[in-house]
Amino acid sequence: MAATVSRNIQLAQALPKRLQTFLARYPPQQLLPKGANPEQHKTPYQEETPNPFLPMRHPITGKWHDPKYSLRRQAELVKLARDHGVEELLPYTPKGTEVRLSKRVELGLRVKGTGVGETVKGHKHERQLVGKMEKRRKAMLEMPDLIREWKKTGKRNWTRFPK
């Protein structure tokens, strides 16, 4: 038990200072002791804003307040956490890996036609390319038979469409 606690402390100290500071201010529920009530173990930072990555509505005035961490700083923290294997300890953020991957799947590459179920209009020659290539493929597969027939009858006497 003591060995795992000291190992966890060493791992935490190996994190960059920015991540250490963030996790000290906003400790995740996974790090709380077993059976502890998360409402009782809130830091002053967590009481002020439960998730520092999301905008928050002021309870009295009703005005929206910006997140404590800007999108750029969120992205930097997520990259640091991902590199050190502790990304799942961060609260929900729009810059998280899972959120970005789900948006990439939903929206595609932001190029028309790369999303789910979308097609690109394209130029006429681009749209007809698939059909042309299929005809060529079929012609190439039929070519040995055609050559054999030419050799039998001679090219001048051969007609593709017999009367």
Instruction: Give the lowest-confidence range in 33-37, 68-72, 112-116, 137-141.
Output: 112-116
Q: Kind of pairing, strands 56-57 and 64-65?
A: antiparallel
Q: Does position 34 have pLDDT exceeding 60, yes or no? A: yes
pLDDT for 77-87, tens place per residue?
999 999 999 99
Q: At what angle do helices 17-25 and 71-83 cross, to 10 degrees?
A: 110
- Torsions phi, psi for 52 (to 5 deg): -70, -5
Of 79 and 108, the structure prediction assigns the larger pLDDT to 79
What does the domain layout of the chain look like in residue ranges? 2-95, 127-153
Q: Whose structure tokens read 């991540």?
A: 19
Distance between CA 90 and CA 61 in Å, rounded?
29
pLDDT of residue 20: 92
Instruction: Give the lowest-confidence range in 20-29, 138-147, 151-160.
Output: 151-160
Distance between CA 60 and CA 160 in Å, rounded?
86
Q: pTM for this structure?
A: 0.62
Of 105 and 64, the structure prediction assigns the larger pLDDT to 64
Burial 105-119 (b: 16+ CB within 10 A, else e): eeeeeeeeeeeeeee
Question: Residue 29 in 3-state DSSP?
Answer: helix
pLDDT of residue 54: 96
pLDDT of residue 122: 81
